[in-house]
Structure 1
Amino acid sequence: MTFISDTFTLAGRLIKHNLRSLDTIITVVLMPIALLLLMVYIFGGAIQIDDISHAQYVNYVLPGILLMTVATGSAYTALRINMDKTSGMFDRFKTLPISKSAVLNGQAVASVVFMMTSTSIVLAVGFIVGFRSDASLGEWLLALLLLVGFAIAVTWLSVPFALAANSIDGASAFSYLVLLLFISSAFVPVTGMPEFVRIFAENQPMTHVIQALRQLLAAQPIGDHGWIALAWLVGITIVFYLLGTRIYRHA
């Protein structure tokens, strides 16, 4: 079908741009790796005094680092969409005999492909520094689907912000989404947080995604976290897909 071929053609254009951008590679790939090493070898060393082994802490912190890798990639998605908008590229696309939906869909496909590639690299580094998993093939597949679902959700979450921003500086504000990971169970248990912070941390979507991912990789039951994470991801994707496409049509 035309819209599928158009989507992948436009996605290929963006993937080439990403691979040629040293700044993107440093921020989306190298920074999460640097944070992983920081958490494992500096903060992790201090935590080991409480009888938590190196391997246990790596296993605990890696899911949060993987989500940070994806969230960082979504910030660059917002920048790329805004650059295409402000440079007039979207206006050019509208004059071409291509599927109109392929423009944003191509952005989304390129974003998810790049996110999952960078996440795979960070995961490989995690294995090098001591990450180990007893998960079965089925649990690994569910973990992969969860990461892909999170990548799709935050990609579409970035679209309306990118389209509404009048400049790259405005679109770059979306990068603050990453800060929500520090108010979750990504790096430390929420039980030690002040009560008003703990209530937010326990119920925000990233905590449920992290907990479900952590349990899957540890070959443990995910409980309610899986269903709650799925509900959040599907809801975010639908709402912001509709909002983003509406803004694009009227831009």
Structure 2
Amino acid sequence: MTTLTHAVGDSATMVARQLRHMVRYPSMTLLLAGMPIFFLLLFVYVFGGAMDFGANGAAAGRAAYLDYVAPGIMLIAVASAAQGTAISVAMDMTEGIVARFRTMDIARVSVLTGHVVGSLVQAMVSVALVTAVALLIGFRPGAGPAEWPAIVGLMALVSFALTWLSVALGLVSTTVETASNLPMPLVFLPFLGSGFVPTETLPAGLRWFAEYQPFTPITETLRGLLMGTEIGDSATAAVAWCAGIALVSYLWARRLYNRDPAA
């Protein structure tokens, strides 16, 4: 058996392990999707009627705001799933299972690969649940056959980047509680971008931060693909941010995982 075949086989085993955890404990997936769904309903039904996104009163404003806010909520769902990854990694590290894996003839890359692929599946399930609720309450995307593959690809790319970042945060955490708190800023960054209001409506200092943080071009790209509107150069910035975050996070996570456990 070649080294590559050995690594692929072990990675498949670790992915299956993570998927079994999802099936046995579906409450985690539902919990991670629950907060974005709560935000969706809160912002649409509590604040949506007051938003000046429609021309024919509160009902029109609420419907138009739903179309505007849905992409930001989808990104919060991805960030929430990434938070669950950090917790899962920290549990494996603190409960000793990784130490046991180190003594076995298992490809080292397979353990992290299992967490990453499992998290990608969990994130896509969370996004699907949020999208289903949005459609039920009136979300009507204008994406066509050409846009939907790009939408799925973008969500997978964002999830891949945030997952590797969360893996690193889980590895650097000394307790599960710390791992649950470190990724929290990822959940709130869409609020400080164009996820809920246009950036030009923000105060000057906050507007500068909103325009140059990674979630704003990602949100604008996702919104443009979903609604069939112009994207401009947002797609290039979104892909660049995701690639950069994924690369740096992967190198960081690999360094943390390969360090001497006794150090």
**In 2, are the aligned partners of 1:75 and 1:175 still within 8 Å (CA)?**
yes
Q: Please say if 1:179 is aligned against 2:185.
A: no
Q: Please say if 1:226 is aligned against 2:230.
A: no
> For the residues of structure 2 that align with 1:184 and 1:8, how far apart are their CA atoms?
37
State how 1:16-95 maps to structure 2 within 5 Å.
16-21=20-25, 23-47=27-51, 51=55, 53-95=61-103
Identity %: 39
- Bigger drift between 98-107 and 23-32 goes to 23-32
State how 1:146-225 maps to structure 2 within 5 Å.
146-173=154-181, 174-225=183-234
**In 2, are the aligned partners of 1:3 and 1:102 still within 8 Å (CA)?**
yes
TM-score (norm 1): 0.95
Mark the runs of 5 or more structure 1 residues left unpaired by the alignment: none
Mark the runs of 5 or more structure 2 residues left unpaired by the alignment: none
Instruction: Tell me the C-alpha RMSD between the 2 structures.
Output: 1.5
**In 1, are the aligned partners of 2:53 and 2:65 still within 8 Å (CA)?**
no
> For the residues of structure 1 that align with 2:129 and 2:145, how far apart are their CA atoms?
19
Q: Does the C-alpha gap of structure 1 residues 50 and 136 become closer, same or farther in structure 2, counting only changes over 3 Å?
A: closer
> For the residues of structure 2 that align with 1:209 and 1:63, how far apart are their CA atoms?
9
> For the residues of structure 1 that align with 2:22 and 2:90, how far apart are their CA atoms?
15
> For the residues of structure 1 that align with 2:47 and 2:255, how far apart are their CA atoms?
45
Alignment partner, residue 128 of structure 2: 120
Match of 1:107 among 115, 123, 130: 115
**In 2, are the aligned partners of 1:55 and 1:132 still within 8 Å (CA)?**
no
The CA deviation at 1:175 is 2.1
- Secondary structure at 1:53's aligned position in 2? helix
The CA deviation at 1:50 is 5.6
Q: For 2:247, give the aligned amino acid.
A: I
Match of 2:16 among 12, 18, 21: 12
- Secondary structure at 1:137's aligned position in 2? coil
**In 2, are the aligned partners of 1:10 and 1:102 still within 8 Å (CA)?**
yes
The CA deviation at 1:141 is 0.8
The CA deviation at 1:22 is 5.4
- Bigger drift between 52-61 and 192-201 goes to 52-61
Q: Which runs of 4+ in 1 moved over 2 A?
A: 18-23, 48-55
The CA deviation at 1:39 is 1.3
The CA deviation at 1:147 is 0.4
The CA deviation at 1:49 is 8.0
- Secondary structure at 1:126's aligned position in 2? helix
CA offsets 1:72-99 (integer angstroms, 9 cap, x no match)? 1111100000000011111111122221
> For the residues of structure 1 that align with 2:186 and 2:114, how far apart are their CA atoms?
22
**In 2, are the aligned partners of 1:19 and 1:25 still within 8 Å (CA)?**
no
**In 2, are the aligned partners of 1:212 and 1:225 still within 8 Å (CA)?**
yes
